[in-house]
Structure 1
Amino acid sequence: MSDRLPPLTALRAFDAAARHMSFAQAAAELNVTPAALSFQIKSLEEHLGAPLFRRLTRRVELTEAGRALAPGAKDGFETLMAAWRSARRVLDSNTLTVTAGPAFTAKWLAPRIYEFARAHPDIDLRFAASLRRMDFDQDEIDVAIRFGYGPDPGVYAVPLRREWVTPVMTPDLAARFPTPDSLTQAPLLFDDSIDFLDPPCDWPTWFRAVGITFTPEHGPHFSQADHAVDAAVAGAGVVLGRRAMVIKEIADGRLVAPYGVALESKARFRFLCREGAEQQPRIAAFRDWILAEIEKTSFISDALTIIPVEDVPAP
């Protein structure tokens, strides 16, 4: 039996039919007629010297040889498609596709992106706001901004500035609740998106950091950080604001951080891309722009007393 590979079109027809277990659905996927698809599979079976499908009434099923071939054919076409997409992206020097969480996209990227566009008019940005962990090749993503602990094996990763939380509120609310003690009487908001942090960066921990034993039990809870921040900007209450989500609101005066004490988590935002891709001009330009933008508001972090959450006494 020869090891010579059969035609790629025949293997592609087999892969589609094996995934759908239907010649008609496979033909529709490949935009060919069922007769043309059946011809390709028949030629593949002749090349192999054995049937790959049992043709039953109104359905097909794989033979033993078909079951042996199907996983490799599927993986092979997925690998080919990923390589093709990678090659196309290397040649596409104008488009940069970035994925980040919805809150980071809304509160950090979107308000600043005009600056990048003005500095790099030749780069067309595409954003995919999602918390789903995307695949750089399969999802055609160039850059990912992700929050968590890492590590990030197999990719190029740049940790961004350390992440902290501190109570933020409108200037009017700050005037009404001028001290941490008075904050126990304030309407408090809860950002549940950071409940996964360990140790927790929550209200009881922050109060312990400033020497107060207090566990708030009531107040609106938000699953998205940007929604919690928007509620604080509207004057609905005080939120433990995450640096990336509130830094621009503080810089612009819509929110204030009057108590000067923040909790630092080891979780950080990271800039991620495929290893080696960081050298591509459009990716390097985006990374350098993000780092430069972060530095513009570093004075706000520098003005805070930042306490590692691990150093806060346990309850």
Structure 2
Amino acid sequence: MNHPLQALRTFVEVGQRGSVKAAAQALHVTPGAVSQQIRLLEDRLGVVLLERERSGMRLTPAGVSIHPQLLQAFLQIDQAVRNLEAAKAQKSLTVSTVATFAASWLVPRLGRFKLLHPDIEIRVEATSELVDLRRDRVDVALRHGLGDYPGLEVMPLMAPVLTPVASPAFLAEHQATIQEAADCLDYPLLHDGDRADWALWLQAHGVPEDVRAQRGSAFEDDFLLIRAAEAGQGLALVPQAYALEEIAAGRLVQVLDKPWPARFAYYTVTQPGASARAEVRAFIDWIVQEAAA
């Protein structure tokens, strides 16, 4: 005789908890649905398994005779499912980073990681918003800033050298005199899509927080940002390597040449102890090697 699995599960929950209401809450169904499943099972078996008493539901002798084995069976099923989910989770990684870094640096290199670790699935989330690693189920965050992430494990990855540039025409028109990082705030600023670089760069140079650091036009792509600077629309903070050709040709001028603040860098950020997982360790080791190269 075939017995409905849901009815057996419902019987186990009521027998274990001694209450139809408590079982209903555990199973996320109504008390009426629980009672219906118990009646279905008792009708199939032709015996009474549970009887009502003042304090709730009590197992009958017939119920007592089968409840322990059924309870153990469902515990084994639950454990098997948890093991499968854990095994699947261990073979996948969610990486969070900002869109520009994902597009220009991380994603083009991920093929090499897959060659080394074909069994690890990588999911890339591109956002400039703060993430809660535990709540958002993010295994590794790649962020650029000053490395101040309290309560998390932080490892410096690399320091992209961003340099402020402008067109000669812009500098002449504004009669710009820029000798310190703070002087940049006196002129229109051009931003990347995250609008984070100027504020962090200024902070790294010891400039107090200033609302002017957030003003100005924003561009999703570094190429567009450089074109806007060439067109004389303002000061742009761009990766030095991207602007070498424009500077050499005289289309852009590096407006400030100061020692690079080493704290302003990309960092890997993980929950405490997360790097003990083989998959997380493999990804961090790989990305550190890529950054060094």
| TM-score normalized by the length of structure 2 | 0.52
The AA in structure 1 aligned to 2:141 is A
Matched, 1:124 2:117: no
2:102 corresponds in structure 1 to 105
Matched, 1:278 2:289: no
Helix, strand or coil for the counterpart of 2:17?
coil
Residue deviations 1:178-201, cap 9 Å, x none?
A: 9x969x9x9852353246549636
Matched, 1:140 2:141: no
Is the 1:163–1:266 contact (alpha carbons within 8 Å) kept by the matching residues of 2?
A: no
Give, in whole Å, the separation in 2 of the partners of 1:272 and 1:174.
40
1:229 corresponds in structure 2 to 222
Give, in whole Å, the separation in 1 of the partners of 2:148 and 2:190.
28
Give, in whole Å, the separation in 2 of the partners of 1:89 and 1:105.
27
Runs (5+) with no aligned partner, structure 1: 17-25, 28-32, 41-45, 51-79, 206-215, 297-315
The AA in structure 2 aligned to 1:272 is V
Cα 1:37/1:105, change in 2 over 3 Å: farther
Cα 1:276/1:177, change in 2 over 3 Å: same
Runs (5+) with no aligned partner, structure 2: 1-14, 38-51, 57-77, 179-183
Is the 1:143–1:273 contact (alpha carbons within 8 Å) kept by the matching residues of 2?
A: yes
Give, in whole Å, the separation in 1 of the partners of 2:266 and 2:158.
8
Is the 1:98–1:127 contact (alpha carbons within 8 Å) kept by the matching residues of 2?
A: yes
Larger radius of gyration: 2
Q: 1:36 aligns with which of 25, 29, 33?
A: 33
Is the 2:165–2:253 contact (alpha carbons within 8 Å) kept by the matching residues of 1?
A: yes
Is the 2:100–2:221 contact (alpha carbons within 8 Å) kept by the matching residues of 1?
A: no
2:92 corresponds in structure 1 to 95
The AA in structure 2 aligned to 1:193 is A
Matched, 1:114 2:111: yes
Helix, strand or coil for the counterpart of 2:158?
coil
Cα 1:142/1:35, change in 2 over 3 Å: same
Give, in whole Å, the separation in 2 of the partners of 1:8 and 1:163.
62
Give, in whole Å, the separation in 1 of the partners of 2:161 and 2:97.
19
Residue 97 of structure 1, CA deviation: 1.6
Give, in whole Å, the separation in 2 of the partners of 1:229 and 1:248.
11
2:25 corresponds in structure 1 to 14
Residue 227 of structure 1, CA deviation: 1.6
Give, in whole Å, the separation in 2 of the partners of 1:7 and 1:91.
35
Residue 126 of structure 1, CA deviation: 0.8
Cα 1:92/1:287, change in 2 over 3 Å: same
Residue 99 of structure 1, CA deviation: 1.5
| TM-score normalized by the length of structure 1 | 0.49
Helix, strand or coil for the counterpart of 1:159?
strand
Is the 1:165–1:264 contact (alpha carbons within 8 Å) kept by the matching residues of 2?
A: no
How many residues of Structure 1 are paired with residues of Structure 2 in the alignment?
224
Is the 1:189–1:228 contact (alpha carbons within 8 Å) kept by the matching residues of 2?
A: no
Residue 115 of structure 1, CA deviation: 3.0
Give, in whole Å, the separation in 2 of the partners of 1:48 and 1:195.
70
Helix, strand or coil for the counterpart of 2:163?
strand
The AA in structure 1 aligned to 2:284 is R
Residue deviations 1:219-268, cap 9 Å, x none?
A: 8422xxx7262422445565113xxxx377469x6888856535527454
Q: 2:162 aligns with which of 154, 160, 165?
A: 165
Helix, strand or coil for the counterpart of 1:231?
helix
Residue deviations 1:86-130, cap 9 Å, x none?
A: x83455453222122333323332233233234433322111223
